[in-house]
Structure 1
Amino acid sequence: MSNIISFPTTFPDEDFRSILYRYHLRSPHRSYLKNRKELLGKAYSTMVMYPENLIHVINGLGVSEEFIINLIDNHTFYPLFRPFVNKDLHNTITNVFYNSSGGLSMKIKTLENQFLSNSIRYCPTCLNDDYERFGEVYAHRTHQFSFLTVCPIHETKLVYSCSHCDIPFASSNANLMLTEPKCPNGHEINENTKEWMDTNKYEFLDDIKALMSYNTLTLNYVYQQLMVRLGNRGYIHFKGDTIFKKDLISDMVDYYGKEVLIELGLNVNELLRVMPSLFAPDDLRKHTIFYILLMRFLSGNTENFLKQDETYFFPLPFGNGPWVCNNRICPQYNQRVINICRRKVHEWITGYFTCNYCGMTYYRKGFPHLEDETLFSIETMGALFINQATKYINKGYTITQTAEFLRSNRTTVRKYLKLYKKENESNLLTINQNNGHKEILQGKLEVAVTDNNSKLELCKETVLEAISILGKRANRPQIRKYNIHRYDWGMKHDRTWMELHLPPKRKLPKMLNLESLDDEMYQLVSAAVDRLWENPPETKITKTSIFKTIPSFVQNRCYRFSEYLPRTIHLIERSLETDDQYLIRIFPKVVKWFKESRYKNLSLKLIQNGFKMYKKSSLTVIQWLEDQIDQINSS
């Protein structure tokens, strides 16, 4: 095998494929494959995007390892992908760079496809400048990013074929490239088509350059920085086990705009489809564009993301105490006398607080809910409340009077008397026999039972009243809506009576007749749509609005058997309210607001400021609004 005689001087931002071709031009061998074998130790017939077996170059030229590192960092695309591959893959790729041959292109093929153009491209202005400066031309690494259509320096349109004869400037395997500012057929490449380059593309290119300039970045560091910033901005569940990916993607779309993301090579629909695979701690290489854009979204740009240190910490829910007692009959009411908080972690954090003076335990919801000391729920009223309630009952007070003394309500007093009776009945009877109070206590407890019976009778009367008013065709859900609390109370305490007086449960057929299903669903939905449009809601009429007015099984069938319900689905679709229809329908509300306001003249801007939905009005609605405004102002 022939020895390597010389290596071409590398140019600023030169693509490695260009270096390899210029080596071929300087070699005495006319065979391109032979030159590749001479330089890299193997006769590659396909395009060589990355150097392999560079130990052959080191031994053949006697160059230092620093020369090889410079070749990889400044003339290949690997520095862009390096921060997103795990340590094992990085070591494998590095080993191929130095010691192996073959297989490297397959290992990072998925990385290239995200960013690089299929054809080698040139900037006509750069071609002429390079030829004048160096005496030869070369392919710039930056020009190969697929999201760029113009040169970022000259804003000249990038080209890959001759405008005269349409011949490509470079072959598919890069064994033929430009040597001067002329196409292979000799036509001058002097196109000077100027195109404006979007600011987003400049910023994205700056992010890429910043990322490529750090040769010590690792996947572990990038992943940790992502997690810290996502946590600080509320995109990670407080338990740390869930990333709110859908919210994050939605916010990024709002931040950049869907069209901008598509221009930069990020397909939002595809991203949503592969959402479960995002943020794999050992592999970020499959969605490199997303992660680079995420860095800008989180920190302003990639440079800030890599340089600025942030610390992610989670504040202690409910603080360090002490906390207030909320029992109104406690001698320490509204005083900070509770020193212990038991925190329970589930979908949110709940704090439990027990007062040692009265025994009351209450709890509050914490993160991610807003912490507010005035919002709490009582778990148990405690010993003081039960003792006081028992004392008042023993003295002959009614439950209503007892509830007033304890600054509570009848339901709560009954609840704790019932618990007290259940747990202490045998002891109370023994103690009170000696004191002659057995009859009094038992009598007061019987009053509570009598009250329950009275409430049950009231519930029954309410159910009968609902049946009478709603008619015999009313179903159980409709009767329950008449008074949910009394209906549920009746079902709990006397289900037998309820079953005798309520209409029978509607049984759904075990087997659906798919042939007649469309007609049945059409009638139900049609009636619901008519009712909805007769008395439309204040909000826009959507599928949800329609389905809220009909039994839930109709919605389930519309989703499960949509292919069998063409008429029904069509009816739902044409019954939906468009944005224009909605804005026109609620205009009387705007007029009413204007007449009650201090404004003298109505204008489109005034409407849009007062009613934000009008800011997205179509041209048709705007013209209609202007006509209405003229009529109102002239009247």
Structure 2
Amino acid sequence: MNTQIENKLAFFPTPYLEEDFRSIIYRYHVRSLHISHERTKKEVLGYKGNTTLPRNLNEITERIPGNVTSDDIIYNHTLFPLLKPFLNEHLMDKVYRDLVSHPDLNKSINAKNYIKHIVSDEIRYCLDCIREDYNNLGEVYIHRLHQCKYIFVCYKHKKILLSNCPICETPLAEQKRFTFLGQPCCSNGHNLLDFKVSSLHEENHFIQEALLEDTSFLLSKARSLTHDYLKVKYLSWLYSKQYITLLGELFQPRAFVDDFINFFSTEVLDKLGMTEDYLRVKNRIWYQINFKKEVPNVALLLLISRFICSSFECFINKSLPNVSSIIPFGTGPWICENKYCLSYKKLSIKSCIRKVSRKDRITGTFCCLACGFTYVRSWDSQDIAEKINVSVVDHGHLWNDLIVSTYERTCSINKTATELKLTREIVKKYLPLLVGEIDSPYSSNHYSHQQVQAILETYSQYKSYRGTARKLGVNRNTVKKYVLLNLPKFENELLLDEIAVTAIDYQEERVNACRNKIVSIMSTVNNLKRSHLRKLIGYSTYRFMLKVDRDWMDEVLPPVSPHALNWDLVDKELSEHIKEKALSLYKQNITIRISKERIKKSLESFQRSRLARRPEKLPLSIAVIEQYEENKEDYQVRKKLSKESLRKGTDDIN
């Protein structure tokens, strides 16, 4: 519910130059003689909230005597102008509406959530300013620029700012209790005019001078500067320094951070909270300069502008750098690369489609309207020399028609390739796409009925794939293919039956011959092992017999060596070993989830091999792995407990 303020104030203190709004309210509180600061806030603001950044200013200024406006308070007595230029139009409208006419004062202050990142947590004073203010005005007030979080010295006297009494260390002001300095003495009565503060150390002098200068200029120009204008400035300047690519992305961010740190020094940046780890966070710099974060780091942005130019003022006032570049591939026209086109090597292409890829590389697509030939070329901004490499996207209708007509006339892939001066691989690749399945008697991938008949007749004569292949000069696999797979397609059933019978008879003859050979060897060699027999008769013969006559082989040959494992015993021992390894992983409190694969990885290689090849023999081991596998919920709990344990200084996790 919006609080209504009815009565106009009888008086209101005239704001001083660069006075913080909190100080103005405090001076009204002192003059009104109110005991409770909550009553003062309620009387002036209409609510009891924080006064760092006021809300509902339109109603407040209507009650204040004089011609004070909402913008006067915002731009002259708060630090909000430091944020305003870096907020986009939508966000700026949202925050500004919260400041001047927020409809519900009971909700959290949106504007304050943005300003708190640049306002100091403690009220700070310059002792020289206290002396001047008291001598000239008879009272002390809070200077707005002194409360900027990243500034440690007075903008006028260049002396270190203080938040505590230099004698008793008592805070000079307490914002929660709404007690600020009105006289030049602390709450314990120590006179601050008798104390002198030293200037800033030499190593920090440059950075503070730079930030004071840039911040003062930003405050003076905040009304006119806009988010879009600053974004163009940052991107243009960084592109001119070769830190931004054509895509508008930060090029080699590590190099940028290195140059930035070397320019200002690590020690100086650390005191501003900009450690090397902070700057090297992925996309940190890019999000700031591209304003992709809602809350900008004003100090970082000011330092980047000074890193690029000599100051923020120069960064703003200096004309934009020339970021134009050579037009990739020129303005045309461009040549046709199809050697079968009448416009070959002539400037016949009138248009170019450019596309930006990563790392400053641009591709151009060119299409000849006469033949349909389309190709792509690349262009690199780092190497602007003409690129002559051409990647074909589409050969076009002229090239397609030519290759099809030539093949239909020659009926040969090789002749087509030779006549068109193409490679055989290109013709073989594109021809099926244009005419479908190739059905040529001259093609190596297809045999005519006469050729298949010749293969079958030769095979029936030689009874061997190898002999048939040698006789006809073809591949042995080709012979096998047509003998075993393609026989049902032909009509000569008599020949097929004859070949089938011949093949069966030949196999029986071979089996009998192999049997006789094995029996002969076994009768002459004592204590013959199967491995020795395999070497004597040949590996192929041994495998053939196992395939077609295993029963006879098992009956005649020596039994297999008794190397069979006791899988029950192996499973039991392996399951116990897995359990030990799993418990060890939990005791080590590793930082990753203890999954099945992680438990298996802790085993020996032969154990992992057994689990992979013979899981049906190891049911107990598989069950133990599943039992000790850590699910995602348990892993999250263990991870959280581990962090809490480390925070307490112990390595034990209950």
For 1:204, the equivalent position in structure 2 comes to 211
Which protein is bigger by CA-based radius of gyration?
Answer: 2
Q: Is the 8 A contact 1:162 1:168 kept in 2?
A: yes
Q: d(CA) in 2 for partners of 1:247 and 1:153?
A: 40
Q: Is the 8 A contact 1:115 1:265 kept in 2?
A: no
For 1:366, what is the secondary structure of its paired residue? strand
Out of 323, 327, 347, which is 2:334 matched to? 323
Out of 377, 388, 405, which is 1:364 matched to? 377
Q: d(CA) in 2 for partners of 1:291 and 1:75?
A: 22
Q: 1:104 to 1:425 in 2, by over 3 A?
A: closer
- Runs of at least 5 residues in structure 1 that lack an aligned partner in the other structure: 431-452, 455-509, 522-562, 564-635
- Runs of at least 5 residues in structure 2 that lack an aligned partner in the other structure: 1-5, 442-473, 476-594, 607-634, 636-654
Q: Is the 8 A contact 1:201 1:264 kept in 2?
A: no
1:489-519: CA deviation from partner (whole Å, max 9, x where unpaired): xxxxxxxxxxxxxxxxxxxxx9747366487
Out of 12, 16, 25, which is 2:30 matched to? 25
Q: d(CA) in 2 for partners of 1:19 and 1:421?
A: 86
1:329-384: CA deviation from partner (whole Å, max 9, x where unpaired): 98977664544435466655432345689986543113567452333345577868
Q: 1:308 to 1:150 in 2, by over 3 A?
A: closer
For 1:376, the equivalent position in structure 2 comes to 390
Relative to the length of structure 2, the TM-score reads: 0.53
Out of 74, 86, 89, which is 2:76 matched to? 74
Q: 1:142 to 1:511 in 2, by over 3 A?
A: closer
Alignment of 1:34-45 (within 5 A): 34-42=39-47, 44=48
For 1:126, what is the secondary structure of its paired residue? helix
For 2:149, what is the secondary structure of its paired residue? coil
Q: 1:320 to 1:51 in 2, by over 3 A?
A: same
What is the percent sequence identity of the aligned residues?
27
Q: d(CA) in 2 for partners of 1:162 and 1:65?
A: 34
Q: d(CA) in 1 for partners of 2:250 and 2:147?
A: 31
CA shift for structure 1 position 191: 2.9
1:514-557: CA deviation from partner (whole Å, max 9, x where unpaired): 36648769xxxxxxxxxxxxxxxxxxxxxxxxxxxxxxxxxxxx
For 1:284, the equivalent position in structure 2 comes to 294
Q: 1:294 to 1:341 in 2, by over 3 A?
A: same
Residue identity in the other structure for 1:157: I
Q: 1:52 to 1:427 in 2, by over 3 A?
A: closer
Q: 1:32 to 1:518 in 2, by over 3 A?
A: same
Q: 1:281 to 1:204 in 2, by over 3 A?
A: closer
Q: 1:369 to 1:94 in 2, by over 3 A?
A: closer
1:96-143: CA deviation from partner (whole Å, max 9, x where unpaired): 544558468731333333222211111222222322333322222222
Q: 1:323 to 1:274 in 2, by over 3 A?
A: closer
For 2:186, the equivalent position in structure 1 comes to 183
For 1:263, the equivalent position in structure 2 comes to 271
Q: 1:388 to 1:37 in 2, by over 3 A?
A: closer
Q: Is the 8 A contact 1:57 1:63 kept in 2?
A: no
Q: d(CA) in 1 for partners of 2:436 and 2:33?
A: 110
1:130 aligns with 2:133: yes
Residue identity in the other structure for 1:350: T
Out of 402, 406, 415, which is 2:426 matched to? 415
1:569-605: CA deviation from partner (whole Å, max 9, x where unpaired): xxxxxxxxxxxxxxxxxxxxxxxxxxxxxxxxxxxxx
CA shift for structure 1 position 7: 2.6
- What root-mean-square deviation, in Å, do the aligned CA atoms of Structure 1 and Structure 2 show? 5.2
Out of 107, 110, 117, which is 1:107 matched to? 110
Residue identity in the other structure for 1:263: K
Q: Is the 8 A contact 1:386 1:417 kept in 2?
A: no
Residue identity in the other structure for 2:161: L
Q: 1:378 to 1:183 in 2, by over 3 A?
A: same
Alignment of 1:486-635 (within 5 A): 512=597, 514=599, 517=602
Q: d(CA) in 2 for partners of 1:426 and 1:105?
A: 73
Out of 317-326 and 379-388, give the one that drifted further.
379-388
Q: 1:56 to 1:312 in 2, by over 3 A?
A: same
1:302 aligns with 2:312: yes
1:215 aligns with 2:226: no
For 1:433, the equivalent position in structure 2 comes to none
Q: Is the 8 A contact 1:169 1:184 kept in 2?
A: yes
Residue identity in the other structure for 2:212: L
Q: d(CA) in 1 for partners of 2:77 and 2:118?
A: 15
For 1:170, what is the secondary structure of its paired residue? coil
Q: Is the 8 A contact 1:84 1:283 kept in 2?
A: no
Q: d(CA) in 2 for partners of 1:308 and 1:278?
A: 21
Q: Is the 8 A contact 1:83 1:217 kept in 2?
A: yes
For 1:63, the equivalent position in structure 2 comes to 66
Q: Is the 8 A contact 1:114 1:289 kept in 2?
A: no
Residue identity in the other structure for 2:158: E
Q: d(CA) in 1 for partners of 2:327 and 2:236?
A: 18
1:215-237: CA deviation from partner (whole Å, max 9, x where unpaired): 24444554555566667777777
Q: d(CA) in 1 for partners of 2:63 and 2:596?
A: 80
CA shift for structure 1 position 182: 2.4
Alignment of 1:445-464 (within 5 A): none
Q: 1:273 to 1:165 in 2, by over 3 A?
A: same
Q: Is the 8 A contact 2:356 2:363 kept in 1?
A: yes
For 2:166, the equivalent position in structure 1 comes to 163
Q: 1:102 to 1:313 in 2, by over 3 A?
A: farther
Q: Is the 8 A contact 1:219 1:282 kept in 2?
A: no
Residue identity in the other structure for 1:144: Q
Q: Is the 8 A contact 2:432 2:438 kept in 1?
A: no
1:12 aligns with 2:8: no
Q: d(CA) in 2 for partners of 1:511 and 1:91?
A: 54
For 1:70, what is the secondary structure of its paired residue? helix
For 2:531, the equivalent position in structure 1 comes to none
Q: d(CA) in 2 for partners of 1:223 and 1:366?
A: 27
Q: 1:317 to 1:193 in 2, by over 3 A?
A: same
Residue identity in the other structure for 1:135: G
Q: d(CA) in 1 for partners of 2:143 and 2:605?
A: 67
For 2:377, what is the secondary structure of its paired residue? strand
Relative to the length of structure 1, the TM-score reads: 0.54
CA shift for structure 1 position 77: 1.0
Q: 1:37 to 1:355 in 2, by over 3 A?
A: closer
Q: Is the 8 A contact 1:114 1:288 kept in 2?
A: no
Q: 1:170 to 1:379 in 2, by over 3 A?
A: closer
Out of 138-147 and 218-227, give the one that drifted further.
218-227
Q: 1:232 to 1:413 in 2, by over 3 A?
A: farther
Q: 1:219 to 1:354 in 2, by over 3 A?
A: closer
Q: 1:304 to 1:429 in 2, by over 3 A?
A: same
Out of 199-208 and 336-345, give the one that drifted further.
336-345
Out of 328-337 and 245-254, give the one that drifted further.
328-337
Out of 368-377 and 141-150, give the one that drifted further.
368-377
Q: Is the 8 A contact 2:170 2:186 kept in 1?
A: yes
Q: Is the 8 A contact 2:153 2:160 kept in 1?
A: yes
CA shift for structure 1 position 89: 5.2
Q: Is the 8 A contact 1:399 1:414 kept in 2?
A: no
Count of equivalent residues? 437
Q: d(CA) in 2 for partners of 1:222 and 1:137?
A: 37
1:466-508: CA deviation from partner (whole Å, max 9, x where unpaired): xxxxxxxxxxxxxxxxxxxxxxxxxxxxxxxxxxxxxxxxxxx
1:352 aligns with 2:359: no
